[in-house]
Chain A
């Protein structure tokens, strides 16, 4: 059997007296879309933040390609090829689309000005940004120097996903990407997700939207009370089963505790 890209075992994270992660496990296989579902407060966000380096776990191990990660910051995770699209999108509203795409990984000019005066190469960044947006079918964007705050919610989500897709080499994590979107915009984001998967990059999708989850996910990780309850195959389970598992109304039987 193929090895998981991300393999986490026995994760524990406490905030004061609250235990957000209680001995949680997690596996992401190559090339798959793994949905993570769970009730509010089940610890989905903590799990994702632990994997993306935004929070430090108290106990447990996280391996990327079989090697322990030990991320201290989201930047570490990013440098290792894990890109995260947070629910808040993590965009700077007053900065332009290009600036946002390259924030924290700006490209400097070649030669003297770049080396000694650290001058940015805005042309090159604009060119790459345009190329990446085109690749993802967001080519109708005309002015990529437009401030992000002048965009609609769906457009912002598009920028955030495009940023992750453009630079994520190993894994892309999406936290509630369709939660704030309308029907049409959600559809576009789901298409984006499938577009990214078709390039062989595995995706972790956190969502409350069962129809969306069952539409795109290859496997569904059900999180409950701070740990992994089970992993189910969306083709073998119904949405009501999934909801029952995550709320505790029903206990899964015969599911592989993979």
Chain B
């Protein structure tokens, strides 16, 4: 500091030369950009465009007669794909809520089975009235979410570790409860048929629209509303974006996170109920890969694993992409491993695109 002895005048001498310069500081000009930059900006605004394009292109390819011999693009097959993805779809919705807050939930699959098992044990084996069995199942699911949320917000553990732990805990408890025995379909029909309500369907032509499929769409629609049209949704995105900034900006971040984990638990409870209808029976060993499949749908759906970015509708498309690949490649007569191969590449591609989109500000 050499000039500190002079009397402080208004501004500094060297700044007087600024008078002639451009004063537009906060101007937001629109620069002319190339095609690639344009695409980057477009995807930045609509990260769901990628999964939508992948879905549309894959459906078109599989619809070609020379690929699947016209067996793909039938009402029956399309409705079958919807049924097949419905459970993972709902779980992916639950997973999305957590991932939007920059967390991850490894326990959703185990919690879903846990919840379904509680519904079955009470409603079928113990003969408790069905609605009480259902409530108990939802209490388990929301309670499981609350447990994850408390461990994350109160004890400040990373969500990955918390849910890795609760994954094992939920699995072991549900196996202890059932002795690893399944609850048979005919027993459910006899004792508590309401548990299987989401397996019922409406036929439209050759299409079979199950209640479970309708439920999945309703779940996504409701979550879309809350995430996009309410302050709670803004806060979820803000927390995932930068938790510290959100806290300083006046969001009660821990309280919001707790509601996110509980809402996610409630959606897992919905998935549990729907899964009984989809599978028919309740098996403690079913949906062993559901955790990872839900994360796959979320990632392919363009929601950033680093939080705060992506649309809740993305995972719906992500789950559908997986279903379309599975169906299409099978109908094309290819080994199902090619589907696994393709999904693997899609995951890597999706995350690479996400990283690229993030650089838009530079």
Residues of A at under 8 Å CB distance from B? Answer: 54, 73-75, 78, 84, 86, 88-95, 99-100, 103-106, 108, 117-120, 138, 140-143, 146-147, 149-151, 154-155, 158, 183-185, 187-188, 210-211, 214-215, 234, 238-240, 243
Contacts and interface: CB of A to CB of B under 8 A. Distances in A.
A215 B10 contact: yes
Interface stretch (B244-252, B277-285, B339-347): B244-252
Contacts of B44: 147, 150
9 contacts: A75-B250, A84-B248, A91-B245, A92-B241, A92-B249, A94-B309, A142-B28, A150-B44, A184-B23
Contacts of B6: 238
Interface string B228-259: 01111011011001101111111110000000
B25 A184 contact: yes
Interface residues on B, range: 35 or more
A184 B11 CA distance: 12
Contact of B234 (A78, A95, A183, A184): A95
B235 A103 contact: yes
Contacts of A86: 248
Contacts of B250: 73-75, 78, 103-105
Contacts of A94: 237, 241, 308-309
Given A90-B249, A103-B251, 16 more contacts: A73-B252, A86-B248, A88-B244, A90-B245, A92-B245, A94-B308, A95-B234, A103-B238, A117-B230, A140-B26, A151-B28, A183-B14, A184-B25, A234-B8, A238-B8, A239-B4
Chain B interface SS verdict (over half):
loop
Contact of A215 (B8, B30, B246): B8
A149 B241 CA distance: 11
A48 B294 CA distance: 44
A109 to B, nearest CB: 9
Nearest to A133: B26
Most central of B8, B14, B225 by chain A CB within 10 Å: B8
A44 B204 CA distance: 70
A102 B305 CA distance: 26
Nearest to A101: B249
Given A141-B28, A184-B25, A118 B230 contact: yes
Most central of A92, A120, A150 by chain B CB within 10 Å: A92
Contacts of A138: 26
B235 to A, nearest CB: 7
Contacts of B23: 184, 188
A149 B28 contact: no
B4 A185 contact: no
A157 to B, nearest CB: 9
Contacts, number: 148
B19 to A, nearest CB: 10
A95 B25 contact: no
Contacts of B360: 149-150
A240 to B, nearest CB: 4
B99 to A, nearest CB: 14
Contacts of A117: 225, 229-230
A43 B30 CA distance: 42
Given A91-B245, A104-B249, A240-B4, A188 B25 contact: yes
Contact of A184 (B18, B249, B308): B18
Contacts of A73: 250, 252
A89 B252 CA distance: 17
Given A74-B247, A238-B5, A146 B231 contact: no
B1 interface: yes
